[in-house]
A and B are shown apart, each in its own frame.
Chain A
Amino acid sequence: MSLDRPNPLYRNLSSKIASLPMMLIVLGVFVGGTAWTVLFSFTDIKVLPLFTPSAWIEHYAGLANYQRLFTTDRWMDCPVITKIGTPNWQFSCTGAFPNMVTYAILAITIMISVGFLLAVFMDQKIRLEGMFRTIYLYPFALSFIVTGHVWAWILSPEYGLQAAVRQLGWTSFSFGWIADRQMVMYAIVLAGIWQGSGFVMALMLAGLRGIDDEIWKAAKVDGIPTWRTYLQIILPMMKPVMVTTFVIVASAAVRIYDLVLAITDGGPGLSSDVPTRYIYQNFSANLGQSLSASTVLLVTMAVLLIPWIRMEFGKKG
């Protein structure tokens, strides 16, 4: 080895050694694990599969798992697509995946609207800002399991809100969401919003505070009312914050599990089942279903990431 050109492998050697765990984890767990799940979702392997390529070839089953997954009512059942083309057409889906989609759409929309509005109100140079912030944000410090059990208790039809209001004299009052197959996902959305809105508010408030004061002065000089400034000037400027918030809330919604487990454990029946629960419960007996469902979830997440990727990597070009 020549002395004038040191081997580049040894350059920053300590740094390479120190980063070794990260590289191993990236390759072994994140890339390797994901690839393993995706690959073996195309096999009919049952339990305790091997890592070897030969096992994969031997058990290759094409799209069989996916076919079964989407014909399983528990995962997705969309029987009613009736009267299409007429004014009162219906489209209804039940199952773990549609439940997650319902939760995601509602949670994202409501959390972002509530979070933004709260941030705007907080931005009005109010007194006791710290106190309000503390109150709005504390649920975010709690575990989903904690949040879930509290809301399950509040919403319990026998002793909770419904019983309390009836006791006060309004005997026909009904708030039995968690026992109602049609409404149970809304109960979970309610708990999710309680936990996450403060967090969204904090992100939005940071975004609002990051906006240049000059913008406000210019809007004042032009005589634009405050609400219109927020709606037409500030809101478009908040796009990066909105995209980030969207991605965070959406990725949390796709993963939803603990909250459902604590509030209803998928019930009544399977009416609040969610993908992670389906995947977890199929690990032992029905691995192929778990792996294909995981892959579907992965693809869903990838689709949701598109706005973020476009923002992050699009600006360089």
Chain B
Amino acid sequence: MSNTVSNPIIPSGPKPKKFITIERAIVYSVLGICAVFFLFPLYIMVITSLKDLDGIRYGNIFVPTLHPSLGAWDKALFHACTGLYCQGILPGFWNSCKITGPSVIVSIAVASVTGYSLANWPFKFSEGFFTVLLVSSFIPYVVMLYPLVLITRWLGIYSTLPAVILVHTIFGLPILTLLFRNYFSSLPQELFKAARVDGAGYWRIFFQVFAPMSIPIFTVAVILQVTGIWNDFLFGVIYAGPRNYPMTVQLNNIVNSLEGVKEYNVDMAATILTGIVPLSIYFFSGKYFVRGIAAGAVKG
């Protein structure tokens, strides 16, 4: 490609494409319209949460208020009523942290070791167990809700934090095990063999050879689990007990509390607050998030 002026080129061949063709315009306008559709609820959430009650009653849902205030946010965080007490959604936030933290750690610990066993130390029936585990991940979870109530009751932990942590661990196991098994299978087997020749055993290979190489997959697993567990509603409401209700349950109770006037601005502030944790994980980990859902989706 020559761009010197002293050497004029007589144009030949087809004309270069114009920057904007009709096709391009259609593509961008379709994508743009869809983007507006997807962003619209976020916009509504934010502007509603900044209004006061009069602004909601007499204003237009599309139009942001001229006098934004954080009153609704304050109320949603600290004072909104959930039917039982009026401490806002903050207790729910801490409960969600208490549920999500241990659940993520336990489920990833169990699943990574199981995946490692399946990939590198297979034993009789190990694949069979795994197939059953995988197929069971499609069983609608309502089928196991009552048996799990019985199991947690039998263990004496029903309606406590350990119960909900156990349930999250159980339901996270299939997908995480798959994730780790596939990842460990993709690592070069020579590494594993070399470590064995050098005398390293099961745990030593896991902790000193494989785990340090597996930071990306652990990141994906953490993202998958944190968003999944944070967003859960039903397990929280059934197994955690009223004192440990996670944020999603608290949000639902705040929105549905029947006391006084319905405060949509407070509801929307609480909604944003509930969504903010998974959303920030999503925005800060874009690539890994996509990998996580792709891994969660594309089986075996």
Q: Is A118 an interface residue (CB 8 A)?
A: yes
Chain A residues with Cβ under 8 A from B275's Cβ? 141-143, 146
Which one, B123, B144, B234, B267, contacts A34 given CB within 8 A? B144
Within 8 A of B (CB), among A151-201: 151, 153-154, 156, 159-161, 163-164, 167-168, 194, 198-199
Which listed segment binds A: B1-9, B53-61, B187-195?
Answer: B53-61
Within 8 A of A (CB), among B116-158: 116-118, 121-124, 126, 129-130, 132-133, 135-136, 138-151
Chain B residues with Cβ under 8 A from A308's Cβ? 299
Which one, A28, A37, A130, A163, contacts B151 given CB within 8 A? A28
Task: Give the interface SS of chain A, mostly helix, strand, loop or mixed.
Answer: helix
Instruction: Contact check, B278 vs A126: say whether CB atoms are below 8 A apart.
Output: no
Residue of B nearest to A152 (CB): B255
Knowing A15-B202, A19-B114, the reply to whether A30 touches B144 (Cβ < 8 A) is yes
Chain A residues with Cβ under 8 A from B118's Cβ? 19
Min C-beta distance of A188 to chain B, whole Å: 14
Instruction: Contact check, A194 vs B38: say whether CB atoms are below 8 A apart.
Output: yes
Q: Is A262 an interface residue (CB 8 A)?
A: yes
Chain A 230-252 near chain B by CB (<8 Å), digits 1 or 0: 00000000000000110110010
Chain B residues with Cβ under 8 A from A290's Cβ? 146
Which one, B30, B116, B234, contacts A121 given CB within 8 A? B30
Chain A residues with Cβ under 8 A from B248's Cβ? 143, 145-146, 258
The CA of A279 and the CA of B234, in the complex, are separated in Å by 12
Instruction: Contact check, B126 vs A19: say whether CB atoms are below 8 A apart.
Output: yes
The CA of A214 and the CA of B248, in the complex, are separated in Å by 48
Knowing A150-B41, A202-B293, the reply to whether A143 touches B282 (Cβ < 8 A) is no
The CA of A122 and the CA of B132, in the complex, are separated in Å by 37
The CA of A79 and the CA of B4, in the complex, are separated in Å by 81
Instruction: Contact check, A34 vs B143: say whether CB atoms are below 8 A apart.
Output: yes
Min C-beta distance of A211 to chain B, whole Å: 15
Instruction: Contact check, A146 vs B271: say whether CB atoms are below 8 A apart.
Output: yes
- The listed residue with most B CB atoms (<10 A of its CB), out of A141, A258, A261, A275, is A141
Q: Is A134 an interface residue (CB 8 A)?
A: yes
Instruction: Contact check, B282 vs A138: say whether CB atoms are below 8 A apart.
Output: yes
A-B contact pairs, 28 of them (CB 8 A): A12-B123, A14-B121, A14-B201, A15-B117, A19-B113, A19-B123, A21-B110, A22-B130, A22-B177, A30-B144, A34-B143, A51-B150, A118-B34, A124-B27, A130-B286, A132-B35, A136-B38, A150-B268, A151-B41, A194-B41, A244-B299, A245-B297, A251-B140, A255-B140, A258-B248, A279-B142, A294-B142, A294-B146
Q: Which 6 A-B pairs have the closest CB atoms?
A: A33-B147, A15-B121, A143-B231, A30-B136, A14-B202, A141-B282
Give the B-binding residues of A (Cβ under 8 A): 8, 11-12, 14-16, 18-19, 21-23, 25-26, 28-34, 36-37, 49, 51, 117-118, 121-122, 124, 126, 130, 132-147, 149-151, 153-154, 156, 159-161, 163-164, 167-168, 194, 198-199, 202-203, 206, 244-245, 247-248, 251, 254-255, 257-258, 261-262, 265, 275-276, 279-280, 283, 287, 290-291, 294-295, 297-298, 301, 305, 308, 312
